[in-house]
Amino acid sequence: MADFDSKTHIEIERQEDVCILTLKGRLSTGADPEQLQAKADEVKRQGLSKVLIDLRELAAIGSTGIGFVVGIYTSVIRNPAGRFVLVGANSRVREVLDLTRLNMVLPMAGNVASGLAMLSGEESAARRAYQN
């Protein structure tokens, strides 16, 4: 786990062929850009084409956090087999994604199970899970 300041934690784990990033706390101005870049580089070094970003424990996101998420997204989708999904955005984080219109670009799911289903190509199952 990486501690960037008293407000931000990022955990990276591998689950089979998926890289899972868990964002906790607040990912906003004040997060160290060098440490964020180091975490992005760590994700890239794993060489996995599927990335799930778990936002369930993220209380707030600002421009720094948006830049981090978009950076991960763009690095993943450069690979023709690349797949990406955000899961578990609370209403506050979802509002920022809506205001920035990223909700129209970044695939999102309601929970980890439906996000993993989307990454494995079971999109209809993921859509059903998100609607429930």
Superfamily of domain 2-131: STAS domain (3.30.750.24)
Q: Residue for token digits 């990033």?
A: 21
- What's the pTM value of the predicted model, to 2 decimals? 0.85
pLDDT tens per residue across span 34-87: 888 899 999 999 889 999 999 999 999 999 899 999 999 999 999 999 999 999
Query: How far, in Å, CA of 36 to CA of 96, rounded?
Result: 19
The structural domains of the chain, with segments of one domain joined by +, span 2-131
Q: Provide the β-strand partners of residue 20.
A: 13, 52
